[in-house]
Amino acid sequence: MGGILKAPFMKELIRTCGTMFRLGWNERNGGNISVIVDGKEAAKYLDTAVSLRSFDLDIDAAELEHRIFAVTRTGSYFRNVKTDPEYNLGLIRIDRGGKSASLLWGFSGGGAPTSELSSHLRSHIVRLRQDKNHRVVTHCHATNTLAMTFVHRLDDRDFTRTLWKMMTECIIVFPEGVGVLPWMICGNDEIGRVTAEKMEKYRVCIWAQHGIFAAGGSLDEALGLIEAVEKAAHIYLKVMNSRILQSITDVELGKLAEAFGLNYRRDFLDL
């Protein structure tokens, strides 16, 4: 049995935290990540029968019982994950019945999982119902996407259409569109509940004046979703006050989606 930091899933998580910090999306203690870890894979590197301590959960996570998650610590700085992963990360397992979780590794010095854990778990539950290959939920403060929520109507259809029209690849990357929420207090179960409702239809949920919640089958997929949304938002902000001479039309977006065989939101286009 090797050390947990030798596990490929931990190496990938540490690398992703560093990437997101360098992109400027996870300043100070902003943002959080949770990754479903295969139990057999985790057992190669750690005695998963040993529980260090337990945490009460704010939600009923019975659908996730016995699942293991790699999770960022509450108050942790993404820039410090690489230099002190045992402090800034933890491996937890949802206990039988889904009312508590056991700490298997990490959170040294008495730390706890991200304050957005209930939002993560609610989103994991609904995404697993939609996609058995779902594994990742990540939250960050993507700069341009956040800025766009100040100047754009906060409506799923309108926001999605604008992003799709900014860059050809967008409808290919997120053909189901994006969900958008008005400003809400963060770190409580209410925002987790309404985010999960959006996650039943989308893999990306945008929190106005706050950031992005994204889900995927891997860290690369979730990060790639955020990259695409963020670049489209950046382009929108650059051109929004300019005289537009040409753009991608709704008909062209429809043809593009059909050419790639996408299951896209036809009702989001005027066809």
Residue with tokens 């930091």: 5
Rounded to a whole number of angstroms, the distance between the first and last alpha carbons of the chain is 58
Structure tokens, 94: 């949802």
Query: Is 116 annotated as catalytic?
Result: yes
User: Residue 115 CB: number of other CB atoms within 10 A?
Assistant: 15
Structure tokens, 71: 């999770």
Comparing CA positions, the residue from 130, 235, 233 lying closest to residue 176 is 130
DSSP 113: B
Comparing CA positions, the residue from 146, 145, 144, 90 lying closest to residue 120 is 90
Task: Give the type of residue at 266.
Answer: R
Identified catalytic residue from 27, 41, 63, 116? 116
- Taking 3-state DSSP, the helix, strand and coil percentages for the chain, each rounded to the nearest 5, stand at 45, 20, 40
Distance CA(143)–CA(67), nearest Å, equals: 33
- Catalytic positions, written as ranges: 116
